[in-house]
Structure 1
């Protein structure tokens, strides 16, 4: 009787199994049939399979679509690895209500749309590795709460929307996200109490928030190897009983900031791969093999010269000697503001010597420079250097002004004001001098007044029928490094009241000193009469 039963089953399979495939009893699922159609060069789903097929192997073919699978709603396991499928057909999937295992690795899939797995209450295993997935809807796993293995390795993922993984509530969940371009842990991880295995190796993580894993009481294995993480905040693993910690391939800075982790790994006896990258004396040593507590050395800065004086257009460098462990990052500031790129200066580092180099220093480079060293282990250290640039006087603002008059008052004469604003280091050797056609003016001449201001000098020319102050005038400023001259020409048109508006002051480019308004100049002139 048994032999007849076996023969009937054989005849049934022989009659309904596609000729190019292999069919056999599926011992994993009662009354099921396993159909193996792998590596046959198929470009369509076979249509003549047993209707009660439970396991279907279609890997290593040329399938571009899942069309046809909806007719085999008894499927429990479906493997479609290494085909040419670019889109997962949600309609097809949702016609497979008993599906437990779905393998779609090594295809061309680019996105997982919303509610893709809706209705698949039995789905446990999803393998989507080695596709081109760059987008996952935050509703993709809607009502797919029974998934306990999700593999998204080797895709094009850069991040996830909040809520994407929250439907995955299985308490034995394995989430594998290796070989993507993630810069941080998915925010949902902090709320997923059931996750047991989390692997996010070979990404671009630099930092893990200490709150990221606080709710993961069930987490036993964490793999963050081959990222760019150099330290973890104390308390990152609070309340977690890790069994295995894979962290190799990260630039671990074994100092006081990792002492808590050394103690955690020793106390909990965690199997781990944490090997120090720095400091140099600990490079290559497993952190739990270090017998003494780990310490930090806060940055120390020494400025060999707190004040530097240099003549303009000379080459000069400002130097800070910086030490610290880990090696500090050095930043430069001028008068409290970060240094902006400038053609005539650049930074140079030789060992612990950090230099700010000036080629042909300019008087505008003068100021208080600060070098700041920070290694994220304590407050940054600072050192200041006063740079004093010595230069011959520079006239930074000069102008000629006469008040407005009426067009028909040509027989009335205007007063004219000439002004020079000067910067100088060292200070001027003497007050600014005024000359008319190379003859020095003292302010006692008829119709002439001279006033020295905090930033320069003003020459008032009072014109009358008896004193015509037209001509060429010079403003001369000097210090031990040289002198500078500004030339003015006062014409009869300046003196005669023939304009309805005054000309604007003449300014030199880049001036930063105070500008005295023409109204104020007139008031000063009246007070001096």
Structure 2
């Protein structure tokens, strides 16, 4: 039986032999000026200052880290890493190689590449055209390249990018869409020590997970265009290592951002008068207006003879207190003078002021005398119109009253005529009946009945045949009345007796003809 100590010793010996053999094999394939070794758990090849002008060939295919810094690698051509069989590369360092250009497919087939260092070279633009071959890139260094502008969508093909370094370039402009595609992934962004004076806040505010933003070393103009960015950084509490410092304006020179109030990021107000000269009429209100713009919103004052005009106040004149009204709305300011006087003429100054400074605009007011009143001024004209209308209404009312009175008189006259005719007929009938001595009481009663009946139709014109019918009907009514008093037989006997026979002419009462009634 083999002791355990001997077994372990044999295992270690065999392991040492295998490692030595592998090391010799690796060293055999490693270039003369390169170093090939395991580092941080990865197979690494480091070739600094090896005077290489291209990617070295015959390296181990399993190489994961390749450092080509400080060589003369001016250009990287299409598929140069692929031709060297280095398809497992995860990190590539091409720093300080005087690199000027990268052909589009320089990194093609490097699907595992997560870190790329192109710093301290001669690249004038971000090599966006090469990124579509390395979509898994996590870290990109472009420090110390003469890059002047970051164009829109420069990193749209590396959506997994977490860290981006663009320090110590010559960047003067960051376009609004420069970091599109990195909204949720980018955490660290370095733009320090460039030539930035102003940037649009929208270039950075889209970065939702930013944990660090380095902007120090730029000649910042801390005016109103920079205010939205500073406001966003304060609101999101975006950290930075070294605070940025203002170079302009002069009032903020050499002052760090973290020591400035937000309103210090301001622009001098802009102001102009709609009318530099205006005219008013004595006794009427006059309004002057000026247009104002400024960030932050400036305070506005109106002045006359270097004295501030307070709202709804004014200077005392012999005729009382002068009143003004200052109204600020929609980036404009209005000054209204109530009941202007000749003494109100002069130069009025509209002044706007904020943290950045002050701006002024002047309006010259001329007041003309009130025109003399004429005989037919507006008040007299209005009074005349009202008087005329009153006269017309009065005339109509008088005419209506006259018409009503005349109509009433006509009705009264017609009523009297009817009553007169009725009375006449009654008198004549009573006379006829009373003239007969034998039939006094009966004939009086008959006369009353006849009068009532005939009286109802006296005032109504009728034709001849209608008169005959009415007369017969009247006689019949007389006969009926008599029968009620004496009975049928007595009346018939009395009526038919010669001495008591009534003459029809005696019962006839003359009537007015139709023409007479009219």
Q: TM-score range by the shorter chain?
A: 0.3 to 0.5
Query: Please, what TM-score do these two structures have when normalized by structure 1?
Result: 0.44
Larger Rg: 2
Query: TM-score, normalised to structure 2's length?
Result: 0.45
Structure ranking higher in strand proportion: 1
